[in-house]
Structure 1
Amino acid sequence: MPELPPLAALRAFCAAARHGQFNRAAEELRLSESAVSHQIRRLENLLSTRLFERHGPKVELTIAGARYFTEVEPLLGRLAEVTAAASGRPDRARVTLTLPPTVASMWLIPNLSSFEPACPNVDLQVMATTRLVDLRREQIDLALRYGRDGWPRVEVEHLFSELALPVCRPGYLASPIATDPAAAMRERRLIVNDDSPDEWLEWAEAHEITPPSLDGALVLSHSDQVLSAAERGLGIAIGRRPMVDTMLQNGALIAPFGDAIPTRASFYLCRPVGVQPTVPVRRVIAWLREIAATIPAL
């Protein structure tokens, strides 16, 4: 049987590969930088190949190193899992999920009550940001991304589509315009999301209605601002499902004209390419699929 590499050397190698620096790997492992360097030289000698190219304080995986890291990192994670299970004291695992702030506050958080039963002994760390995160470099397990697919270095799964429909405060539209979308768009203030300036045009065209004038419209920057303004009776807004669903269900907003239309974007579940998901990550993926499948029809 071939000689197995020392566990300490593998841990040092994986930490250095994730961080791209020996000093940050040393901080993670609570070792000196020279100890990390020693363990990696030990591993390179055993494999008879270079795993890193040195560029001052930074290091970059060689082709052989990248291939080895892709195989070894999930094995170490799995070893930690089975060791904890065998000990009878399963540790709580942490799974990190990054997603847009609006999606976190208006869709994920309202569904968190079902997380613990579905993912026991898993701590979900939510990183809400509009920044496009490098999942592998920043050690992020999963991302929920909004758009039309096409992101590099990630494995992508369509999670759910986005639907758009006009919403307003109950009582904001009185008869007869309450049932006449063309009249309502002419006679009431419209609220426009600056991130999607053509949303009213797209909805009107989909319903074969003359597109409304946006003169005098209230223009806001984010979906949560748009929906908050509509809730306060400042105008009619385009709500986007499923983010608006909670407000529709609790009566804070109504959808006076019914039919929603699919937008040009969807929500995708992404994970780093080439990284085998651990058991806790697979549980979180399954939970996200389950709550996405429960998005109700209006």
Structure 2
Amino acid sequence: MIINANAKVKKIWTDKMLYVMLLPAMIYFFVLHVWPIIGMKLAFYEYRILGTNVFVGMKYFKELFSTPIFSQVLANTLIISAMKIFLIFPIPIIFALMLNEFMNGKFRKAVQVISYLPHFLSWVVIAGIWFEFLSPSTGVINEIIQFFGFPTHDFLTDKSSIRWILVASEAWRGIGWDSILFLAAILGISPSLYEAAYVDGANRWHIITRIVLPALYVPMVTIFILNVGFIMNAGLDQVLNFTNDSVNSQIDIIDTYVYRMGLLNGQYSFATAANLFKSVIGVVLVLSTHFISKKLTSKGAW
């Protein structure tokens, strides 16, 4: 036992520079992801700027569930997240399959680079682009509508279209970046499988359905489980940049509700309770989806 411990210590010391390089990432996750978990206890206390916080148990959770607006906020969160999960999830997979079919390597790389770029833009920039794109006076979409003789339409203030705009802008931003994992799995397929398939007379459709898609099965299951776990995160940055008084009732989500109640109204304990509720539901969904997938397909997130 002592020999093994000494060997591990020696190994760590040998690779000390690698651990030093890892240190900034560890500090980042501890400060921004681990330490805030301790602060979640504020949901069970009445926050006081001066003096000691008073333990109030489930008081703020009872207030949260009895607040009329919370049911609408929760419904908006689930609807928007479900639309993003089920409508956007297949798009990066299809995009990766299309990239794999490009025989010209330079053209494929160019398409990849162009498709990756929106991922690195902030939602402020993306919202500005979409505002210009959908502008009722100068937007491309409305110019096309006018060309065919129809009146212009302000999509950004239309309650029936704003959720679809959120989904479309999210898909546009993430299609290239989200396809990386699937494309890597495709490129990792052994060339001998393709050669054997061609020898047996398989066409491209057979190769895609019998070789390529099975190779994507594990990453598809993993990403879907993680997406379900984030169903309570409908996109705070995105909603804040796309919201306005006309459509706020349709896209007011838990994150914007927490932001409004906590940072704007100063109800820190109440906002913490709402955020803790969201986090617990997310953990339960990840675990449930993982174990159900394990049971049915023997594949899970881990």
TM-score bucket of the superposed structures, by smaller chain: under 0.3
User: What TM-score, normalized to structure 2?
Assistant: 0.20
Which has more strand, going by share of residues? 1
Which has more helix, going by share of residues? 2
- Identify the structure with bigger relative contact order (alpha carbons < 8 Å, sequence gap 6+): 2
User: What TM-score, normalized to structure 1?
Assistant: 0.20
